[in-house]
Amino acid sequence: MSLSPAAQDLAQTRFGSVLSQAARAWRRSADRRLQPYGLTEATWLPLIRLARASAPMRQKDLAASLGLDGSSVVRILDALESSGLVERRAEAGDRRAKAILLTEQGQAVVAQVERVAQEVRNDALQGLSESEVQQAYALLERICERLDVGDEAVSP
């Protein structure tokens, strides 16, 4: 199916807007479903990032993965720690550096979040073929790579 030049121009012009709208809708759906557990994106997203990390993360690594500044992450971690979901431990080689670890309770919450995340994925991708999902994934990966390279080129 070939699009007219006007339709192609409209698709390119609105692509970023539709992409942002889809990301917001995805997060809102997750937030609504996690609300009964007392979780918001500010709490569930850091827990997921910590759980999915290949090694214990430091505060600065978590901040970078969330796209937040250090002081914002300190407040989030203070709240998660006071809720008993994470703990900070001094690392053996550097007593100033703190590794952030999920507690047993934090791991249980992550299991709930992962179940809800799977429900959201299933609902969002329902009716799409495996091929469509793979193509969309590959396209978004390429866009992210291009934007990351572009950001690195203009960094001071």
* pLDDT tens for each residue of 53-107: 999 999 889 999 998 988 889 999 999 999 999 999 887 777 677 899 999 999 9
In this prediction, residue 1 carries a pLDDT of: 61
What is the average pLDDT score of the chain?
Answer: 88
CATH architecture classification, 22-125: Orthogonal Bundle (1.10)
Q: What's the pLDDT at 37?
A: 87
Q: How far apart are CA 156 and CA 142, in angstroms?
A: 24
Buried b (16+ CB within 10 A) or exposed e, 95-134: eeebbbebeeebeebbebbeebbeebeeeeeeeeeeeeee
Q: Of residues 11 and 27, which shows the higher confidence score?
A: 27
pLDDT in tens, 109-155: 999 999 999 999 999 999 999 999 999 999 999 998 998 875 554 44
Cα–Cα distance measured from residue 48 to residue 53, given in angstroms and rounded to the nearest whole number: 8
| Token couple for 127 | 């009716």
pLDDT at 9 exceeding the cut of 80: no
How far apart CA 98 and CA 87 sit, in angstroms, is: 9
Contact 57, 49 (CB under 8 A): yes
